Amino acid sequence: MGRLKSDLKREKTAIAIIIVFMVVAALGIYIYNVTAARLAGIGITIHYKDGSSYTVDSTAYPLRLMIGPGLKVKDPNLDKEVDYVEVYLKYKLDWEGEISDYEFSGYLAIIVDGEEEKRVEVSNPDSIAKGFWKEIVKVKLDDTWLEDFGEGEHTLHGEGYLKVKLTFTDGSTDTAEGESEDLDWKFKVESGGGITSFNVKVSKQVHFK
């Protein structure tokens, strides 16, 4: 019978997870489970008009260890003008058995200053990746689109949700689902036109599914 590996480990890790969180909570540090919960990850790449770029990708931190509320990264390119940004959702799956079919669903939402501006639905990929992170959906936002929010500072918020159903050759099925981290990018529309970048914050959400 085919099963997602996270399900196979659930019984063995449940007690360990509780013990770890008891110890960690006493220290005031938050640590997150990787093997059972990591299904969806979010990232952003900021492209500048000089041809360079800067990426903050939540999946690039494999230990998933964060102090306090999350990860905040200051953009080192504060003096550069932004051309466009790409926000993307990735997935990572592992399983045992042979797959005969799969079904992906979910979304990537873009919210600016508290208002949802874009929502892209996840569709089935041509192939399915096993054991490594792979992009499933991406949104491109150019400087003209960003300038429409008007002069001043703004916050672009990205969040994603993914559900995957696997069907195995023996007829069994298994399902995994989870939300990505919340991503916040602070940017500024300059008075004379143009976009500049401030920082990116990734706030981890805790899920054990």
- Inter-residue contact 178 to 207 (CB < 8 Å): yes
Residues 6+ apart with CB under 8 A from 173: 165, 166, 167
Here the tokens at position 15 are 């007690």
pLDDT in tens for each of the 209 residues of the chain? 677 776 545 443 333 323 333 322 222 222 222 233 458 889 999 999 999 998 888 887 654 444 345 666 777 777 789 999 999 999 999 999 999 999 999 999 999 999 999 999 999 999 999 999 999 999 999 999 999 999 999 999 999 999 999 999 999 999 999 888 888 999 999 887 788 888 888 775 433 23
Query: 20 phi and psi, to 5 degrees?
Result: -60, -45
Interior CA angle at 110 toward 109 and 116, to 5°? 90
Q: What is the pLDDT of residue 6?
A: 60
Q: What is the pLDDT of residue 197?
A: 83
Residues 128, 93, 45, 144: is their CA dihedral positive or negative?
A: positive
Q: What is the pLDDT of residue 109?
A: 96
